Amino acid sequence: MSVNAELRAFYESRQKQIPADIRAVMRRAAREQEESGQAGRALNAGAKAPSFALPSATGRTVALDGLLARGPVVLTFYRGAWCPYCNIALRSLQRHHDDITARGARLVAVSPQVPDESLSLAEKHGLGFDVLSDLGCDVARRYGLAFDLPDDLAAVYDGLGIDLLRSNAGHARTLPLPATYVIDRGGAIRWAFVTTDYTARAEPADILAALDALG
């Protein structure tokens, strides 16, 4: 099963459990974000990847330049461990991690949550790749991915017990769009997947094809 088929199946089952008024808020926010055109303005193939140095779940500082010195990089942005769609996507990437490294590439995942939250996520799913903390979405902003939740959707998340204020170290309203980039050793983005739809993610097969195309 493709990751997006898995995500769609989860979405359809989840919708049956969410009250109609909450579904209405989520759908309106999703529609407005899509209509904003932000995904089209984010960095895409052909752009230079902004450099960064971020703390990992284990306390190390991981720099993009250091990763690129050893090979291409697959960089994926996700919302946080609280997001079930992110968890499905990260587990799918873990299943393909060996295929990525076999192509000489490094996989890193970035979210706005604090390192402790990232560590819990990595341990829970047995992730073999670095999970980095981008507090305040400063790096996501340089890639054109950062956005602020609207008030009514933020209230819905609060009501569902999603404590973004805690997990994001006070930057509760700012999240990244789901995105995945394949970056060559020269720092150029060679392939990109960016969407405003948090229920959709890059297919691992497409990521592997993009790595193969690097030659």
pLDDT recorded at residue 165: 86
Instruction: Tell me which residues of the chain have a pLDDT lower than 50.
Output: none
| β 106-111/189-194 pair status | unpaired
Q: What is the pTM of this model?
A: 0.94
Distance CA 172, CA 215 (A): 41
Axis-axis angle for helices 204-213, 84-95 (nearest 10): 50
CB 102 within 8 A of CB 204: no
Give the containing element (helix H, strand E) for 49. none
Q: Which residues pair with 75 in a beta bridge?
A: 108, 181
Residue 131 token pair: 């999970």
pLDDT recorded at residue 121: 63
pLDDT recorded at residue 167: 85
Classify 211 as helix, strand or coil.
helix
Distance CA 53, CA 195 (A): 24
The residue ranges of DSSP E strands in the chain, in sequence order, are 53-55, 61-63, 73-77, 106-111, 130-133, 146-148, 174-176, 179-183, 189-194
Distance CA 78, CA 109 (A): 7
CB 131 within 8 A of CB 54: no
CB 187 within 8 A of CB 51: yes
pLDDT digits (tens, 9 = 90+) for 73-126: 999 999 998 999 999 999 999 999 999 999 999 999 999 998 766 656 666 667
Give the containing element (helix H, strand E) for 165. helix 164-167
Mean pLDDT for all residues in the chain? 93
Classify 111 as helix, strand or coil.
strand
